[in-house]
């Protein structure tokens, strides 16, 4: 039987929100209207933290800059973003956590609401092959083509994470129920639906609401960034 290790990304393996930081990066580049974009970015982030994010509205906002620029330009910007925010800056305790599961032969996957364009290179930096993320649609559904500003499939958010993980596992010939044991590391109460589905939920750098829930359920609490 196979063991499964799922990781949220933002504020779980990373000590910040990659989607929010990508938006701030675009503001610094002057790619988007600085004041207006930053204000909206801050509001969406605040809504996420309190569990009231309108995911459809947020995705329209977050994916618009991807649709407004050619993929080649976006790729160059993302390389600069990686150099500024990620390269050489991954927290050792987060890297060690991932490495322990990889060394044990566990099937590892990052499961994040942030879109795959932003997160795929970050997940690669952790040495994780598999990613379940919100997928931006591309022209004619071609990999590497320009983005349309829409999403492909359902967002990897709240209950959507369960659906997306099940679909991914099915493609590999597995299911959550077929796993010998399953871990999910997350910081956010938004991830409660998937945390409830695994055999080993771990509240990781948890927000206030998830910390209270974890204490109530006697779930382990892991602090990676202290």
> Where in the sequence numbering do the catalytic residues fall?
8, 10
Residue 141 CA: distances (Å) to CA of 138, 147, 151 = 5, 9, 11
SS3 101: helix
Q: What is the DSSP letter of 180?
A: S
- The per-residue b/e assignment along 65-101, b for 16 or more CB within 10 angstroms, e otherwise, is bbbeeeeeebeebbeebeeebbeeebeeebeebbeeb
Per DSSP, the three-state class of 153 is: coil
H/E segment holding residue 148? strand 147-152
């Amino acid at each position: 039987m196979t063991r499964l290790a799922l990781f949220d990304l933002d504020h779980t393996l990373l000590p910040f929100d990659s989607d929010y930081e990508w938006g701030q990066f675009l503001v610094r580049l002057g790619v988007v209207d600085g004041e207006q974009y930053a204000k909206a970015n801050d509001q969406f982030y605040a809504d996420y933290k309190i569990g009231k994010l309108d995911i459809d509205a947020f995705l329209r906002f977050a994916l618009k800059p991807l649709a407004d620029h050619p993929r080649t330009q976006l790729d160059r910007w993302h390389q600069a973003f990686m150099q500024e925010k990620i390269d050489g800056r991954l927290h050792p305790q987060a890297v060690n956590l991932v490495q322990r599961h990889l060394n044990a032969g566990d099937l590892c996957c990052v499961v994040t609401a942030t879109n795959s364009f932003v997160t795929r290179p970050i997940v690669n930096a952790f040495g994780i092959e598999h990613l379940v993320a919100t997928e931006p649609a591309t022209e004619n559904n071609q990999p590497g083509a320009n983005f349309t500003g829409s999403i492909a499939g359902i967002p990897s958010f709240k209950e959507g994470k369960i659906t997306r993980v099940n679909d991914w596992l099915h493609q590999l010939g597995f299911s959550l129920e077929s796993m010998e044991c399953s871990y999910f590391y997350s910081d956010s109460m938004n991830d409660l639906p998937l945390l409830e589905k695994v055999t080993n939920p771990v509240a990781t750098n948890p927000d206030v609401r998830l910390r209270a829930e974890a204490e109530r359920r006697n779930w382990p609490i892991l602090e990676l960034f202290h």
